[in-house]
Amino acid sequence: MYGELLLKWLNSPVVDAATKKELKEIQSDAKEVESRFLAPLTFGTGGLRGVLGAGINRMNRYTVRHATQGLANLILKQGDAVCDRGVVVGYDCRNGSAEFAREVCRVLVANGIRAYRFDELRPTPEVSFAIRELGCIAGVNITASHNPKEYNGYKAYWEDGAQLDLEQAEVVYNAIQSTDIFEDVKVASEAEAAAQTVLLGRDFDEKFLEQVMTQQINREVVSQQADMAIVYTPFHGTGYRLVPEVLKRAGFRNVTCVPEQMVLDGNFPTVASPNPENKEGFTLAMRLADQVAADFIIGTDPDADRLGVVVRNETGEFVALTGNQTGVILLDYVLRARQEQGTLPANACAIKTIVTSEMAARVCEKYGVTLMNVLTGFKFIGEKIKEFEQTGEYSYVFGYEESYGYLTGTYARDKDGVAASLLIAEVAAWYRSKSMTLWQALQALYAEYGWHREVTVNIAMPGLDGMKKTAALMASLRKNVPQVVAGQKVMQFFDLEQGAMGLPRSNVVYYALEDRSVVVVRPSGTEPKVKVYFMVSGTSGTEADRKAAALKEDFFRLANI
């Protein structure tokens, strides 16, 4: 079967010579052939993501075209009138990204759909913003976010600027499954697509930056702390222009960028992985921070939607904040500052994902702000923003997820590392005006709201039987629900696959314990692994660490993991 698919590619007049050469080189390797042709890349609400290479289970121009034809089918179902509204296409610094963006436009044009494409790489949030600004029906961004260099991906958005919902993604996925990757895909010539594609230049950045700058809350405190030393790294990616620019416009005069990582490069030569979650990636930044006596370091991932922050602790050692820690610092500051300025709406609402720290609930309780939980994925935060605009029941003030994504405004419907960089710098300036560092600020928040700890464990499910192992594990967890874990009663068990917590159906199980600890288990949507989240709190950091370790150990014992 897999050999037949390989021969189909080798014999197709559509496939280019370089791709055929790559396939001929692996033709005698049965396992490699199976890996590449086992099944098409799964198209979900997060779009596509996979290793670069030839085959239906890889990211290449043909799988990108196939996905785009599926998206075009979804658009065409809305009627001819929406085609002229168009689709915005963006891309990041990764290998193949610019080429894939052009291929998207070729398919759109061939289907009679107007195409807008950025003339060079741009941050993901700017693509989300552009959809709304231009009144487009959809958008595509070619990026694999913070994945290693071997990967690329395809994020698809709808007219509200948020990623496709479950039903829309299913339409695209079914189209991929039921159509031929070559014969059923319409592709315009490069010349025709270039002639009919509207290019978006740097003048469009001004529209985006104007909205980002409105997220600044306290310009005066920035002016007072304008000399605060900041180091920034874009990890070779799309934040390289706009993040330094917004910091400059905000009033920060002492920003130093890591020169080696300001170079756009999809091979990410200075880091093992361009992930701002990993402290190791900040090695050059930390060295530079010592040289310029910087107070803290900001890093954005290749498509600049995620923000990582490195600070100095009480001994001067660099510590990488988790997404939960950065998020709660930002949340507390936004609510505090807006309350002090009298701009916090009476119906204010903050949003977090179900796997994000419960510390957010304590913060919102203090300020009298409603907190909502949504499924993992920033698109669900975007959906709530849209709902609030339609109903007027709540006013959105802040949303975040533990995976380093934050959004204050409603100009975009995806996480924004550009605006988050601006905001965390302002927060640092405010605390500096109180003679406090960001590390000291975090300790003060723990002292006020309780010492919270979050531990995430990734259980790898590699290989061809990984999906079966994942399904077996989730079925076992649903069948064998413990009454007590680590000495705490399980007060509530939610199986989101059956519908629970007022959330859409999802392959997630959620345990709420009597001491307000939480355990969540879900398969990853983009990688072959199952993620287990433990969230606890205590009266001290030591107690919280102990509780987290005990909860993890006993849960794994009970679940036979």
CA separation for the pair 58, 46 (Å, rounded):
16
Are the C-beta atoms of residues 165 and 158 closer than 8 Å to each other? yes
Helix (H) or strand (E) run with residue 405 in it: strand 405-407
State the CB neighbour count (10 A cutoff) for residue 235.
30
Q: Where are the alpha helices (DSSP H) in 232-300?
A: 239-250, 283-292
The CA-CA-CA angle for residues 367, 369, 375, to 5°, reads: 135
CA separation for the pair 537, 516 (Å, rounded):
8
What one-letter code names the amino acid at 559?
Answer: A
Q: Where are the alpha helices (DSSP H) in 135-276?
A: 166-178, 190-196, 202-213, 219-224, 239-250
Using alpha carbons, list the distances in angstroms from residue 67 to 36, 85, 89, 154, 520: 17, 20, 14, 9, 31
Are the C-beta atoms of residues 69 and 111 closer than 8 Å to each other? yes
The angle that helices 239-250 and 202-213 make with each other, rounded to 10 degrees, is 50
Query: Tokens 């990616």 belong to which residue?
Result: 237
Q: Which residues are known to be catalytic? A: 145
CA separation for the pair 237, 517 (Å, rounded):
37
Are the C-beta atoms of residues 157 and 86 closer than 8 Å to each other? no
Bridge partners of residue 512, in order along the sequence:
492, 518
Residue 299's nearest CA partner among 227, 404, 202 is 404
Phi, psi of 379 (to 5 degrees): -60, -30
Using alpha carbons, list the distances in angstroms from residue 525 to 268, 457, 464, 507, 531: 24, 15, 16, 10, 10
State CA 380 to chain mean position distance. Answer: 12
